[in-house]
Every structure is written in structure tokens, then in C-alpha cells.
């Protein structure tokens, strides 16, 4: 029996790089961390952005048949545009982060790969505070 690959595997891909990062929380010392990120190419971003955009364009005329007609069509088209914009803005993906909470010192990690934002919010499950992860690219 073959094993199924784990989609949230901690094994790095060839396109991922390990970079130093800082976890900050106002009023506390900066904590150093390691982050593994992947730079997304324009081709990847365009391909991933086109999927929800096309889905919204296809779905809008279909749901426009349900009364009231205009809100359903505009909603489907709007959702397609919003989801496409979110995928297009994903220049880097944060796959792994190893660090500690500046407030309580407990380890914080990611549950799944996410779009890297600047600064990226990190939630501590121990003390319930949200810190900011800063990565120098």
C-alpha cells in the first residue's frame, strides 16, 4: 500500500528558502525566528487568479436566473474578483515558521501554508495575543 503525501509536510520544496525573521509585540522584546517562504512567479499568480475569476464569470449568468436577478449576479461576479485579487497579491507564501511568542515565550507555529503579509500576524494559542512577523526579503 502506498502512502498518501501529507499536504502540510514540513519537508522543504526546492523553491522554498529559509530566511531570518522577527516576531514583535508592542512593549516586549523582539524575538528572532526562522521562516520558510516560497516566492510565487507571475505565471503561478496569474494561473491561480484566473480560476476564481473565470468561475465568477461563468456563475454570474447562471445565478442571474434566480429572482432577485441582479444581486445574485453581482455577488457571484464580485466574489470572483475578490478571490482573484487575493491570489494575485500572493507574491510570497509562508510555509513554515519557527519562533516563540514575545509575551509568554511559548512556541508559535503555522497550521497551514498562508499568503505572506507585511507584517504577518501570528496568533499565540497560549497567551491569546497577536504578534507581528517581519521577514526581510
- Are 82 and 103 contained in the same domain? no
In sequence order, what DSSP letters do the residues of 72-105 get, joined into one string? Answer: HHHHHHHHHHHHHHHHHT--EEEEEEEEE-TTT-
Is 3 within the bounds of a domain?
A: no
Distance (Å, rounded) from C-alpha 121 to C-alpha 54? 30
Is 1 within the bounds of a domain?
A: no
* Number of domains composing the chain: 2
More reliable by pLDDT, 5 or 111: 111
pLDDT tens digits along 22-45: 999 999 999 999 999 999 999 999
Is 2 within the bounds of a domain?
A: no
pTM: 0.77
Q: Helix or strand or coil: residue 42?
A: helix
Is 58 within the bounds of a domain?
A: yes
- Are 36 and 97 contained in the same domain? yes
Is 75 within the bounds of a domain?
A: yes
- Are 84 and 112 contained in the same domain? no
What are the CA-CA distances from residue 39 to residues 10, 44, 83, 101, 136 (Å)? 17, 10, 19, 26, 13
Check: CB of residue 107 under 8 Å from CB of residue 100.
yes
Enclosing domain of residue 56: 42-88
Amino acid at each position: 500500500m502506498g502512502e498518501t503525501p501529507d499536504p502540510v509536510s514540513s519537508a522543504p520544496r526546492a523553491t522554498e528558502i529559509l530566511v531570518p525573521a522577527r516576531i514583535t509585540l508592542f512593549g516586549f522584546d523582539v524575538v528572532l525566528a526562522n521562516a520558510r517562504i516560497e516566492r510565487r512567479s507571475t505565471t503561478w499568480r496569474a494561473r491561480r487568479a484566473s480560476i476564481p475569476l473565470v468561475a465568477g464569470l461563468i456563475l454570474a449568468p447562471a445565478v442571474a436566473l434566480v429572482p432577485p436577478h441582479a444581486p445574485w449576479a453581482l455577488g457571484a461576479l464580485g466574489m470572483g474578483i475578490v478571490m482573484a485579487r487575493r491570489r494575485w497579491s500572493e507574491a510570497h507564501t509562508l510555509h513554515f515558521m519557527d519562533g516563540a511568542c514575545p509575551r509568554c515565550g511559548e512556541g508559535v507555529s503555522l497550521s497551514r501554508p498562508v499568503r505572506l503579509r507585511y507584517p504577518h500576524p501570528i496568533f499565540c494559542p497560549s497567551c491569546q495575543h497577536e504578534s507581528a512577523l517581519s521577514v526581510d526579503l
